[in-house]
């Protein structure tokens, strides 16, 4: 924060000049609304060092700042020094950033990179609402890390092997009659997912028949004919059976095409892809070397384990008795492989739901025991699940909110509301459709990202399309209002420098803009895009108060008119940049 940084330096000078006391440990905070002032110095930490009462310290510092023209006034309340900052500092800051289209973003890029993993779907079903939260969080944090000055690699690991994909393959062989996504005009991931649901229906019916014929429920579930065929297919795949592998490749390719379409519509992307079919054999070498060094131990049955009880965790299997890997094994290997592939990686962020909290505690601890120094910078971006009013989503039963369907629904809703408002008259159909999609997806993204990732979300699609209050459309509408102001000017503002008395509303707006870079860094360090979402909402509320209280284009004074136009322009830049960190676009008309 530019203004706070200047005031901090002036307070340091005051303490040095008045008390001969040098310190960088100065606690500043925003002045509470019930008191006059912009920035507050917390005086209590200085009392012990200076051996004076807090009121006396505050008044001496305040007098010094008045004499040096750093502040225009001050007041002392119970050991808090409330400072009203000189307009000069606000205007110096404003003049320095008003033409910066990338305002808020760091222009220094670290040599060390962070890799962010998100999405990471299974290839037996389309992406759903839970994946949307995952993708939005991972993508948004990637953009926030970039804006804070980090180099970022975005990646995912796709679960493209195992019994789940074999279930879809068996059902396709039994019931498709050779249909394909192209022949049925069904999106590839949806097409394959339908056969996964079909498999489950047949499976349940066979289990019921086995129970009727005298089998116990447990035996019936393990001996359903269609499940036994899927298990047999998995064995064939793992042994490299040509026919099975070709079918596996074909059906996965359908799913990948579907995923890419969803990612494009959602507005997320990736720099690299990892596939479990490639990584499931990774990690075994590190298990064997860890066995030699004593990190792991072998049980009598030949399985290899890691004893983490001294660390407050349990014993964890890392290699089965038959030598096959478990998820932990391949996660160890994949982490190491990523560092080999991208040597500049200094840290990794895993965007995965909170049901995997324990898994990542174990993974990070094992990597530390194996001696990988970079493991100190691993982070699990854990997030709460997304529930529906009707209950938990279940892929096998087809009771999920499909990501594509949800995005289409949001776009339709935006269209209905926009048509009622009648603000888009004169635009072409293509231009209108672009606005509908931008507003609809913005509403969806903002609804999810404004919530702290750790919190569980009860997602009601109807409620999420409320276009009042703390919503993306409210913010986007304010941006569009600013663009209409800029289109209404008939004078040049490109080279103006301002030096004038500021109104309270103008100072509030500049103060909020000034805090944007620090909000980005706070969001990056706390791994929480909700800080950006709520920041931009507050910015828009302050702007709307400014807009309603002070004339802009109708101001009687040319210098005020020009200044307020440029201030509005900078607000627009900040809104656009903040929303961009959330993956949300803006529109010029709504």
Token reading at 271: 């720099």
- What's the average model confidence in pLDDT over 193-203? 96
Token reading at 397: 């039963």
Give the chain's mean pLDDT. Answer: 93
Is 70 exceeded by the pLDDT of residue 272? yes
Is 90 exceeded by the pLDDT of residue 492? no
DSSP codes joined into one string, 453-515: TTS-EE--HHHHT--SSSSHHHHHHHHHHHHHHHHT--S--TT-----PPPHHHHHHHHHHHT
Given this model, what pLDDT does residue 281 score? 85
Contact predicate 410/447, CB 8 Å: no
Contact predicate 368/398, CB 8 Å: no
Nearest of 565, 550, 265 to residue 433 by alpha carbon: 265
pLDDT tens digit sequence for 33-65: 899 999 999 999 999 999 999 999 999 999 999
As a 3-state breakdown, the chain gives helix, strand, coil percent values, each rounded to 5, of 55, 15, 30
First to last CA, the chain: 32
Query: What are the b/e assignments for 476-513, b being 16+ CB within 10 Å?
Result: bbbbbbbbebeeebeeeeeeeebeeebeebbbbbbbbb
- Reported as type and span, the H/E element at residue 84 is strand 80-85
pLDDT tens digit sequence for 384-437: 988 766 654 444 444 568 899 889 988 988 888 888 777 788 889 999 999 999
pLDDT tens digit sequence for 290-326: 999 999 999 999 999 999 999 999 999 999 998 888 9
- Reported as type and span, the H/E element at residue 305 is strand 304-307
DSSP SS3 for 70:
coil
Q: What is the distance between the alpha carbons of residues 114 and 533, in angstroms, rounded to a whole number?
A: 22
- Reported as type and span, the H/E element at residue 74 is strand 71-77
The pTM of the full predicted model, rounded to 2 decimals, is 0.92
pLDDT tens digit sequence for 329-375: 999 999 999 999 999 999 999 999 999 999 999 999 999 999 999 99
Contact predicate 244/233, CB 8 Å: yes
Q: What is the distance between the alpha carbons of residues 366 and 307, in angstroms, rounded to a whole number?
A: 10
Q: What percent of the chain has pLDDT over 90?
A: 81
- What's the average model confidence in pLDDT over 486-507? 86
Given this model, what pLDDT does residue 494 score? 67
What phi and psi values does residue 273 have, to the nearest 5 degrees?
Answer: -130, 140
């Amino acid at each position: 924060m530019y203004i706070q940084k200047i005031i901090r330096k002036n307070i340091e000078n005051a303490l040095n000049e008045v008390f001969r006391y040098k310190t960088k440990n100065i606690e500043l905070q925003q002045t509470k609304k019930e008191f006059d002032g912009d920035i507050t110095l917390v005086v209590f930490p200085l009392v012990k060092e200076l051996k004076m009462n807090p009121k006396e310290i505050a008044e001496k510092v305040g007098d010094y700042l008045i004499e040096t023209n750093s502040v225009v006034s001050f007041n002392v309340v119970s050991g808090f020094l409330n400072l009203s900052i000189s307009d000069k500092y606000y205007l110096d800051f404003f003049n320095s950033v008003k033409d910066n289209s990338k305002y808020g973003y760091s222009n220094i890029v670290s040599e060390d990179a962070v890799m962010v993993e998100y999405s990471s779907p299974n290839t037996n079903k389309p992406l759903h609402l839970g994946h949307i939260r995952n993708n939005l969080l991972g993508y948004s944090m990637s953009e926030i890390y970039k804006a804070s000055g980090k180099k970022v690699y975005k990646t995912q690991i796709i679960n493209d092997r195992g019994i789940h994909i074999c279930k879809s393959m068996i059902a396709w062989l039994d019931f498709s009659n050779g249909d394909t996504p192209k022949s049925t005009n069904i999106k590839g991931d949806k097409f394959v997912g339908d056969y996964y649901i079909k498999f489950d229906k047949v499976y349940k019916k066979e289990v019921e028949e086995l129970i009727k014929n005298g089998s116990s429920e447990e035996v019936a579930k393990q001996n359903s004919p269609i499940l036994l065929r899927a298990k047999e297919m998995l064995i064939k795949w793992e042994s490299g059976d040509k026919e099975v592998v070709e079918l596996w490749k074909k059906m996965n390719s359908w799913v990948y095409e579907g995923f890419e379409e969803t990612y494009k519509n959602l507005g997320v992307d990736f720099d690299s892809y990892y596939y479990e079919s490639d990584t499931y054999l990774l990690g075994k070498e590190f298990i064997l070397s860890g066995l030699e060094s004593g990190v792991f131990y072998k049980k009598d049955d030949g399985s290899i384990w890691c004893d983490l009880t001294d660390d407050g965790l349990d014993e964890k299997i890392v290699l089965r008795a038959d030598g096959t890997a478990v998820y932990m094994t391949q996660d160890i290997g994949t982490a190491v492989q990523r560092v080999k592939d991208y040597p500049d990686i200094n840290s990794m962020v895993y965007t995965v739901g909170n049901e995997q909290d324990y898994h990542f505690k174990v993974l990070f601890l094992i990597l530390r025991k194996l001696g990988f120094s970079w493991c100190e910078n691993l982070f699990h971006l854990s997030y709460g699940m997304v529930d529906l009013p009707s209950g938990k989503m279940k892929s096998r039963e087809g009771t999920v909110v499909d990501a594509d369907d949800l995005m289409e629904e949001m776009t339709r809703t935006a269209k209905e509301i926009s048509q009622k408002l009648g603000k888009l008259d004169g635009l072409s159909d293509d231009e209108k459709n672009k606005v509908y999609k931008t507003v609809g997806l913005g509403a969806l993204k903002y609804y999810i990202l404004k919530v702290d990732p750790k919190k569980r979300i009860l997602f009601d699609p109807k409620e999420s399309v409320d276009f009042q209050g703390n919503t993306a459309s409210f913010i986007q509408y304010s941006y569009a209002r600013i663009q209409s102001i800029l289109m209404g000017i008939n004078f040049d503002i490109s080279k103006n420098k301002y030096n004038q008395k500021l109104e309270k509303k103008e100072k509030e707006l500049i103060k909020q803009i000034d805090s944007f870079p620090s909000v980005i860094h706070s969001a990056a360090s706390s791994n929480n895009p909700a800080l950006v979402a709520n920041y931009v909402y507050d910015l828009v509320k302050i702007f709307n108060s400014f807009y309603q209280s002070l004339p802009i284009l109708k101001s009687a004074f040319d210098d005020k008119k020009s200044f307020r136009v440029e201030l509005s322009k900078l607000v627009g830049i900040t809104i656009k940049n903040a929303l961009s960190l959330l993956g949300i676009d803006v529109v010029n008309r709504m």
